[in-house]
Structure 1
Amino acid sequence: MQIIMKAKYLIVTVALLALACSLASAGDPSPLQDFCVAVKDPASALFVNGKFCKDPKLVSANDFFFSGLNVPRNTSNPLGSNITIVNVDNLAGLNTLGISLARLDFAPYGLNPPHTHPRGTEFLIVLQGTLYAGFVTSNGDGNRLFTKILYPGDVIIFPIGLIHFQWNVGKTNAIAFAGFNSQNEGRIDIANAVFGSDPKINPDVLTKAFQVDKKLVEYLQKQLWFTNS
């Protein structure tokens, strides 16, 4: 009798766990913007987790079309790189599809500086040139650095939210394409966010965080931090 009762409890426990997993998988979708402050008046609302949907009767082929990724971008900037993003902001048909992409152009020794995509994992393939690319794991994994030298046809993955970068180590231009599993992957340039925030972070905070002289922090906060996307 006890064996039968234990078996019943086990079945119920498994069923509850399965139900919990089912409910968890049907939970809130991932956020598609930095924040969404709730409002009671619909007239004050802009969008919630993406964009409003267009009336299907008014949809045309142009809503699913983007042209020009074959054109090299201008890389004459302090970073020597230029990122062309194709996401829901400039290709409306991507809304709710959970994908986006980008073209990356590099001048010789151009850099796509350390940054993160808070809402998407990145899949990058090199078409031309030689890139030194890598990412850093989270604190819990010891902040380990993974790097590779990439040649045409090579692919690398940057897990969602982790700091990563690409540097053209060749003497010629480089081109890469990237895909994301989000319609709005987001981007946080580390240096820009830390030293170029608006308003500025209290320099005492950064002095203690980076364990450097306060004058260095104040110097960095006075720089014009360029973004390549």
Structure 2
Amino acid sequence: MDRAAVFDVDGTLVDTNHLHVTSWWEAFRQAGHDVVMHDIHRAVGLSGHDLIAHLLGDGRDTSQDDTINAAHKTLYATYSDRLPALPQAGRLLRTLAGQGWSVILATSASGAELDALRRAIDADDAITATASAEDVGEGKPAPEPVQRALELAGVPADRALFVGDTVWDMEAATRAGVLSVALRCGGIPQRDLEDAGAAAVYQDPADLLDQLDDSPVGLLKTRLDGAHPGTRAPS
């Protein structure tokens, strides 16, 4: 395969963002911090320690970070066996794999959390590889997760696309030089996603699948199919 479709997971393929918000809110509360849920929602997509730093600031007591992060994981795991995939998430991945895309997951999840997310998607047969939090030094919005996904796929940035649901996803893809497509099912406004670099915005995986041929995904496929493998796609 000479092209890659890289996907975020939380809020993009699995309906977890609001569960993360509630779990983080309670984890902060247990540590003595009142953090507004709206602010937590806008920070979802960052790695755990980056999210804590973003919300509590540099002047926080950093000795609490591990405790807050662990509390979030424990609270979130309470529902891990009931995580719902977003509409047509698995079918979208299988459709792309059937079209010759290497489907790569790029997520801040790892271990048991990642296993639960993959069970929810139920499309392991379509997934080529996963770039998890354990594989990178910096999470989104740094480009490293997307770059690692491209390494796993063995393709350059101009033969790939990224699908995510947060501004951090769009910024990471843009910094990696990868075409980005956004989904609104994570709860982030369309304007914010576009301002962060999204080439197009769809409601959820089902909406993208319905419009796939006319989407940036379909247009990139057409361009790449017209280019000799290993060469740069025409502008």
- TM bucket, shorter chain: under 0.3
Indicate the structure whose relative CO is greater, using CA pairs within 8 Å and at least 6 residues apart: 2
> Which structure has the greater CA radius of gyration?
1
Q: Which protein is richer in strand relative to its size?
A: 1
Q: Which protein is richer in helix relative to its size?
A: 2
